[in-house]
Structure 1
């Protein structure tokens, strides 16, 4: 089981949600955790510190990538000359990989200092990620993680935030056996089959897997706090926070998919 959190936005965190995630980890023992960006609300030292403390308290291996909130917004000098300084103080390299018993995960940095919300990936990142995925064990579920999604539904009005080279990346990565991409940014849980959406010449679905905000009070469109779980058989589940029970429960209308499904 892989736990997919996103948009923690420390500085706006809810203690009840943090406690519920700890309880979930104690009960289900995920083999790893991924956090797809926006660890903090304003990239402040104490927010990164609080985030690191929380993730370490879960006692499971994890991979994180930065989001657009993880570089300074108002401190212009720091934004342009050392945008990732605080992030790297607590989490090290901007791009890492994580291999577990059932998963092979590549983390990418899609954040650029000159953009506020728009995602960006370079030709070099596409090539290097292709090489990593190509060399990864064929029997493991292959995933790539970065903050902005590759597909945003028309009613979300954030389509300009998708990386420009996203479709080119998919056309290469899809031939490595890539299972899916893990994102946040929109604070909405969703799953899309990118192979169908972009009519890619790939024989299997490649899923765009969006996570909601796991612990922040910055909820969008009347959504609740949520996270995703990916099982080792390729099933994708959404867990939503139950305000009365104060715990995360599998959403009854969640789309549970595996790599043999055609419907998303």
Structure 2
């Protein structure tokens, strides 16, 4: 069995310290095979927020892959947002969009953030042709017998949560991923967990969203997802902080 912890929207700068300590203690006690973070490490992409996130992630002592969320792009500094949007990620570079090959399961990244969009709300999702091509290239390198999960920040389609993603290109990307052999997509952004199965022309796709470990909760207390992969089958459990 391969066990994964899927966490999202940690939002250093608006973090819930008790929730972070609870998650770290759970990781230390249970030693999952990997931790998947689907975006929004920070609240405003400030240097001290990234520094705190890096220290916390490194202290977990497990393999980690991190997706970029909309809150991880510079918010107030438009020059930095357009010219050097990922510069403050440099210290975390080895974790960012890191494909993982584990026992019986592979995780590949998909970028769903954009520096700017032709709409007022730039926090919503966008899958560019370039980002999708990069992910499909990763998928082509995955062992044929592995369960294949794609990790990104924004849900590719709406999942019935209070918050929305309105991801442009998301539905087409979902169908392309399914056609390439992906079995599921792990996301964050909406701060509430979900687990649904969506039909595509290539077959059903599992869509799994994680909650938040920040103070910015919606309908669910601070939580993360525990994923089990056994003989090609995926089981999920939402674990809420009491």
TM over 0.5: yes
**Does the C-alpha gap of structure 1 residues 157 and 184 become closer, same or farther in structure 2, counting only changes over 3 Å?**
closer
Displacement, 1:27? 2.4
What residue in structure 2 maps to residue 219 of structure 1? 217
What residue in structure 2 maps to residue 228 of structure 1? 225
Moved more, 142-151 or 168-177: 168-177
Displacement, 1:51? 0.5
Quick one: distance in 1 between partners of 2:97 and 2:62?
A: 19
Quick one: distance in 1 between partners of 2:43 and 2:5?
A: 21
What whole-Å deviation, never above 9, does each CA across 1:26-47 have from its counterpart, x for those lacking one?
2221101110000001101111
RMSD: 1.8
CA contact (8 A) 2:163 2:190 kept: no
Alignment TM-score, normalising by the size of structure 2: 0.89
What residue in structure 2 maps to residue 85 of structure 1? 87
What residue in structure 2 maps to residue 209 of structure 1? 208
Displacement, 1:12? 1.5
Displacement, 1:91? 2.8
Among 182, 196, 205, the alignment partner of 1:178 is 182
User: SS where residue 15 of structure 2 aligns?
Assistant: coil
Residues paired across the two proteins, number:
233
Alignment TM-score, normalising by the size of structure 1: 0.82
What whole-Å deviation, never above 9, does each CA across 1:86-121 have from its counterpart, x for those lacking one?
123433585331111232111122111114212111
Q: Which runs of 5+ in 1 are unaligned?
A: 243-264
Quick one: distance in 2 between partners of 1:209 and 1:21?
A: 19
**Does the C-alpha gap of structure 1 residues 23 and 232 become closer, same or farther in structure 2, counting only changes over 3 Å?**
same
What whole-Å deviation, never above 9, does each CA across 1:190-235 have from its counterpart, x for those lacking one?
012122xxxx2223x211111100x2111113x2000011101210
What residue in structure 1 maps to residue 241 of structure 2? 241
